Structure 1
Amino acid sequence: MKLTVNSAAEMNKIGAAIALTTKPHDLLLLKGDLGAGKTTLTQGIGRTLGIKRPVKSPTFTIVREYREARLPLFHMDFYRLENDDLSSIDLNSYLAEPGLVVIEWPQVIKAQLPEYALQLTIRRVDDQWDSTKRTVEFEVQGERAKQWLADILVQLKSIS
């Protein structure tokens, strides 16, 4: 499944649809080049979950926790992770929490991820520096992800 996105506002709407349909223990994987819109999408998730403070990129901190929301959000970015070393992060503990785990750059730790997830790949449509056009491709891994994607698509129709 692939969607075309023309603005940051549209990326935020996808994030809102994800937040409105997520359940405890869901795992969202976000792939895409630097500046593709992964954090913008996560900001839409955060706002819709009820996070009041800014949702920022966790590139330098690796993990940002937002426990004050309707559902806790654990936003991770493994771009700077050295040698796939997760020793300083107990990923399994985060996955066991009744919240939503969002991982940017999941390919860095692919071998250490569970078999279930909803994965989004975000790509720029053109090379102009100020372009906001993107494609968002959804890939499901497991039955929960399949249902989650169906729910997201229904939700997107109602908020468009």
Structure 2
Amino acid sequence: MQINLANAQATRVLGVHLGQTLAAGSILLLTGDLGAGKTCLVQGIGEGLGITEPIVSPTFTLINEYEGGRLPLYHLDLYRLQPEEVKGLNLANYWDDAEYPLGIVAIEWAERLPEMPPTYLKIALSYAGDRRLVEFANVGGQLQLENLLANFY
């Protein structure tokens, strides 16, 4: 499924919709070039979850955890890492370990994951002229994209 967005504000609005709609345990694997809107989308997700603190890119911290919304948001950025380095982070803890409350896991530069989670929503962001193109793929799960995005259009 593909959606064309006019600008960064529309990307954020899509994120708000996802934050209001996604269920606990949702894993979002975000791909796209620098500046394509990955962090902007996650900022919207945080807003949609009701998180009031600023959502900032974890490029240097690798992982930011936000609570205080409808669900926790775990925001990861793998831009500065190689797949071998990512292995040592034990990221599967965010979706397999009872120590972490189920929330939304959003991973930027997900192509650097050495192993994919069993189920996830892949969101690829790209430029299409002066617009943004967002492509969704549901992998291994029962998520119905049409239902998830029904009230967004």
- Check whether TM > 0.5: yes
Residue 116 of structure 2 corresponds to 113
Give yes or no for contact 2:86–2:112 (8 Å, CA) kept in 1: no
More helix per residue: 1 or 2? 1
Give yes or no for contact 1:29–1:120 (8 Å, CA) kept in 2: yes
Residue 61 of structure 1 corresponds to 61
TM-score calculated relative to the size of structure 2? 0.89
Percent of residue pairs identical: 38
Q: Report the Cα distance in structure 2 between the residues aligned to 1:89 and 1:57, rounded to whole angstroms.
A: 18
Task: Look up the equivalent residue of 2:152 and give its one-letter code.
Answer: L
Q: Which runs of 5+ in 1 are unaligned?
A: none
Q: Report the Cα distance in structure 1 between the residues aligned to 2:78 and 2:34, rounded to whole angstroms.
A: 12
- Aligned pair count reads 149
**Following TM superposition, by how much is the alpha carbon of 1:23 offset from its aligned partner in structure 2, in angstroms?**
1.0
Q: Which runs of 5+ in 2 are unaligned?
A: none
Give yes or no for contact 1:12–1:44 (8 Å, CA) kept in 2: yes
Q: Report the Cα distance in structure 1 between the residues aligned to 2:84 and 2:124, rounded to whole angstroms.
A: 20
Correspondence for 2:151 among 148, 151, 155:
155
Which residues in structure 2 correspond to 1:20-39 (within 5 Å)? 20-39=20-39
**Following TM superposition, by how much is the alpha carbon of 1:83 offset from its aligned partner in structure 2, in angstroms?**
4.2
**Following TM superposition, by how much is the alpha carbon of 1:138 offset from its aligned partner in structure 2, in angstroms?**
0.7
CA-to-aligned-CA distance 1:138-159 (integer Å, 9 cap, x gap): 11102333x2x223211303xx
Residue 139 of structure 1 corresponds to 137
Q: Report the Cα distance in structure 2 between the residues aligned to 1:20 and 1:155, rounded to whole angstroms.
A: 11
